[in-house]
Structure 1
Amino acid sequence: MTTSRATLDGDRPGTGPTLPPGGQRRRLYLAGLPKPVARARAYAAQAVADWSWPTSASGAEEDIVLLVAELVANAMLHAGGPVDLVLDASEARLRIEVSDRSTVLPEPRNPHRPGLPGGHGLFIVQKAATRWGALPHAEGKTVWAEIDTRPPHPGG
């Protein structure tokens, strides 16, 4: 698991998305649908708009859509296609989950290998997410990424 500095710190300190009490979980089934990356991007963009996600100079809204696109594209390229996309939003963080039917866990590659294409998907996920990982389960695995909605506390 890798950590970067991405946060959704909003225009005003301490502001977060507009969510129902307890947050909200949305699921989009992608198995067998044409153009799953485009569908997932549009779904995530609509969720971010519905939740009035905080705007930020760092482009957090674009980071969310980028993370969704990368996770779904990785499922397409390496796992036979995505099964579903889950967006789980709370006042503290947004968790993006993409499930597929492969039991092979993702392994980041060095995208800067001269003469060899690829390796950028998880590199982008590592840079844009606060945390990421993969959970195996009976039907395959779920690759997830989280973005915190608030900046980390000083000293911790």
Structure 2
Amino acid sequence: METIGPETGDTVGAAVPVRGQRRRLALTGVRGSVAKGRDFTRQALKDWGWDGTETSEDTLLLVSELLTNASLHAGGCQELVLTSGECLRIEVCDGTTTLPFPHPAPQRGLPGGHGLHIVERLSDRWGAQTHEGGKAVWAEIDAARLVSGRPTGR
């Protein structure tokens, strides 16, 4: 596996089958990590033929939420990992071992406390696992949803 730097944006070519591809984006100390992560994800979805649907747009929002949560609550993002297969697995790695939990009662119309509820709503599965040096918060979207989602009309 190779980590792809945020400055180069090098990715695996589209000729490689979608199943089993893994793309990594290093984000430690990177300004604008949410935007870079979205752009990186948008390109992967395009390369894998999973773009142009409502579900692909939801995927970009999901990536934004995970990266924002890491930035606000876990001292920043270290890496974004996208893995294709029966599902798209999105992992955001940070340097803390504190596991996230949905806010018990987010206030309607007020900022904050909604992020993990959005993650839960947009993904088919999500969770977190600790590892030496931090944790990964992950979400999965079934590949069938990415292929068959309604077109966005672009």
TMscore range, shorter length:
0.7 to 0.9
Residue 101 (structure 2) pairs with residue 107 (structure 1): yes
Q: CA separation of 1:122/1:21 partners in 2, compared to 1, >3 Å: closer, same or farther?
A: closer
State the alpha-carbon separation in 2 of the partners of residues 53 and 79 from structure 1. 30
Residue 82 (structure 2) pairs with residue 87 (structure 1): yes
Equivalent position of 2:138 in the other structure: 144
Equivalent position of 1:20 in the other structure: 17
Equivalent position of 1:32 in the other structure: 29
Letter in 1 for 2:72: L
CA contact (8 A) 2:63 2:90 kept: yes
Tell me how far 1:21 sits from its aligned partner: 6.3
State the alpha-carbon separation in 2 of the partners of residues 47 and 102 from structure 1. 27
Structure ranking higher on relative contact order (CA contacts 8 Å, 6+ apart): 1
Give the length in aligned residue pairs: 132
Q: Which runs of 5+ in 2 are unaligned?
A: 1-14, 146-154
Structure 1 stretches of at least 4 aligned residues deviating more than 3 Å after TM superposition: 114-117
SS at match of 1:150: helix
State the alpha-carbon separation in 2 of the partners of residues 150 and 123 from structure 1. 22
Tell me how far 1:64 sits from its aligned partner: 1.0
What are the superposed Cα offsets for residues 88-126 of structure 1, whole Å, 9 maximum, x if unpaired? 011x10000000001110010145436864111101100
Tell me how far 1:20 sits from its aligned partner: 1.2
SS at match of 2:135: strand
RMSD across aligned C-alpha pairs, in angstroms? Answer: 2.1
Higher helix share: 2
Q: Which runs of 5+ in 1 are unaligned?
A: 1-17, 152-156
Structure 2 length as normaliser, TM-score?
Answer: 0.78
